[in-house]
Amino acid sequence: MSNRWITLIAAFPLIAASATQPAPPFTISPETTSALGPVRPDGSVDYVAAVNQRFSQGVTPDNNGFVLWLGVMGIDDFPQSVRQQVLTMCGAENLKAGSIWTNFDRNTPEDGRGLHLWNASENPAYAEFLKSHEDLLADATQAAARPRWWAPSVSTNGALFGVLLPQLRNMRDVSQALCNRALLRAQQGDLDGFLSDVITAKRLGRRAAGFYLIGDLVAIRINDTADHAIGAAAGAGILSGDRCRKLAAALDELQPSSQPWESVDVGERWGSLEFAQTIATGNLQRLIQGDDNFTRQLKPFDSIDRDAVDWNTALRQINGTYDQMVRIMKMPPGRDAQLARREFDREMATRRANLAPLKALTKWPADAPPAYTQRVTNAIVSVLMPSLWRIQDQFRSCAMEDQMARAVLAAAQYRADNGDWPDTLQTLTPKYLLAPPKDIFLGDGMNVVRYEKTQRGVCLRARGLDGTDIIVGAR
């Protein structure tokens, strides 16, 4: 329900409500919502319009990678009701029909033992699939290299809950193909092709993240795949010193990855505030359509006595809850952050425990206005507040794998310069590596990841979130 992407915007001149509409039962202010406009005729914030105003700044059809991406994925994955609007908003009205990405429906080389160097003879069908998709992979490379990326947010029902993101699946699938092709190219001696493919995958991961939590999850998956491809080639010792330095420089030039708290601070927050404003203005029906499961979840809110709720108090509490969550997510890993997480979780559990069944959201005769306002607020927060700590830990794991891939690359450069692999990761510091990566989920998180020499080369091991080993390097 909460896979929204949006970011904080500066105050936007408010559009006056229509004279035929009553004033909304809340005040738009920084305390009640972090987006101050534009405003719909009913007095609620039009968050979809706010998203597009914010992220289209400085974007043109010529610098927007998403315009080229539409040529890779096509437009059919967008509902027919919004297709033309998507094309018009991003300036792709002249998009010509042509070949679009189709996924490989059989086993790829990584199935079984993960990403590894491979030859076409190992999987001829997949090698042929990659060859037949060369033009689309070239288009994807150009799209990812463009300086801007704006996918217009077009809603099927006018609300953030109706904004779809079909491009994320294609971005994940194309990135997977790029990383497999990178390792095929590396095995064939095309090391520049290898470098181009893994950097394109890294760029696509950054394009997927930053606005919706679902986008962050896709970005983590893409970035992890690229790290394992880099580790497989570097750990096998097939990169020259110059190629190692070139790849390290290209990785350093990438824009920083967006962090999950950025999506929470804007997209998740705006989705909850929009939901509350939609109830307050009596327009919940626009959300209850199309998705039966979604309808069942939201239908109880239709029984709320809107006039008995202090909506300014409710909106301030919702906004404040997101402030608290973002503050915790920004804390450095450690005991204080863990304690803050637990306290927040206890608070949320108390809200849920004190919440009457959703079917009882109607106002009881004995309800005092403050108690009823609190019950409605608790219901909105309980239903819409996402579970975030695991996503944040997945991001931290992804950052650790970034460091592990860089350490394997540093070991490969050491080997190219000195003729053999280093005995330890500490040997690489400070000339090749500032510091060995830490195993953040093992013990107190201060242990260096394990370094192993194998018959295939070198690899690094660390503890994963689920207790199994993360392996980056030659397999």
Model's pTM, two decimal places? 0.90
Inter-residue contact 171 to 207 (CB < 8 Å): yes
378: tokens are: 């608790």
The pLDDT of residue 4 is 31
The pLDDT of residue 292 is 61
Q: Residue 18 carries which side chain, given as an amino acid letter?
A: S
Inter-residue contact 165 to 219 (CB < 8 Å): no
Mean pLDDT, residues 257-271 = 90
The pLDDT of residue 438 is 94
Say yes or no to pLDDT of 358 above 60: no
The pLDDT of residue 20 is 55
Rounded to whole angstroms, the Cα distance separating 124 from 140 reads 23
Say yes or no to pLDDT of 2 above 60: no
The pLDDT of residue 277 is 94
Sequence-separated (6 or more) residues with CB below 8 Å from residue 52? 89, 152, 153
Domains of the chain: which residue ranges?
Answer: 67-243, 262-389, 399-473
What is the share, in percent, of the chain residues with pLDDT greater than 90? 68
84: tokens are: 């033309």
The pLDDT of residue 400 is 95
What is the share, in percent, of the chain residues with pLDDT greater than 70? 92
Task: For the beta carbon of residue 256, count every other beta carbon within 10 angstroms.
Answer: 6
The pLDDT of residue 238 is 95
Rounded to whole angstroms, the Cα distance separating 293 from 288 reads 10
Sequence-separated (6 or more) residues with CB below 8 Å from residue 65? 142, 143, 144, 145, 146, 147, 148, 149, 207
Instruction: List pLDDT tens digits, range 160-172.
Output: 888 889 999 999 9
Rounded to whole angstroms, the Cα distance separating 456 from 475 reads 7
What is the enclosing helix (H) or strand (E) of 450?
strand 450-454
Distance of CA 18 to the CA centre of its chain: 37
Higher pLDDT, 395 or 352: 395
Q: Residue 188 carries which side chain, given as an amino acid letter?
A: Q
Inter-residue contact 431 to 443 (CB < 8 Å): no
Say yes or no to pLDDT of 294 above 90: no
Say yes or no to pLDDT of 367 above 90: no
Q: Would you place residue 327 in the very low, low, confident or very high pLDDT band (cuts 50, 70, 90)?
A: very high
The pLDDT of residue 158 is 87
Higher pLDDT, 6 or 286: 286
Mean pLDDT, residues 148-153 = 94
Alpha carbon of 395 to those of 209, 231, 399: distances in Å? Answer: 11, 19, 6
Q: Would you place residue 356 in the very low, low, confident or very high pLDDT band (cuts 50, 70, 90)?
A: low
Q: Which of 187-196, 329-338, 352-361, 388-397 comes out lowest in average pLDDT?
A: 352-361
SS3 451: strand
Top mean pLDDT of 6-10, 289-293, 365-369 is at: 365-369
The pLDDT of residue 217 is 94
Top mean pLDDT of 225-234, 360-369, 442-451 is at: 225-234
Rounded to whole angstroms, the Cα distance separating 59 from 77 reads 23
Q: Would you place residue 209 in the very low, low, confident or very high pLDDT band (cuts 50, 70, 90)?
A: confident
Task: For the beta carbon of residue 306, count every other beta carbon within 10 angstroms.
Answer: 14
Mean pLDDT, residues 109-135 = 93
214: tokens are: 């679902």
Say yes or no to pLDDT of 287 above 80: no
* Mean pLDDT, all residues of the chain: 89
Map 38-80 to HEC letters: CECCCCCECHHHHHHHHHCCCCCCCCEHHHHHHHHHCCCCCCH
Report phi then psi at 79, rounded to 5: -55, 145
Mean pLDDT, residues 36-64 = 91
Of residues 67, 66, 37, 34, the one with CA closest to residue 49? 37
Mean pLDDT, residues 209-232 = 92
Mean pLDDT, residues 229-249 = 96
Say yes or no to pLDDT of 124 above 90: yes
The pLDDT of residue 295 is 65
Mean pLDDT, residues 229-244 = 96
* Angle at 443 (CA atoms; ends 441, 448), nearest 5 degrees: 75
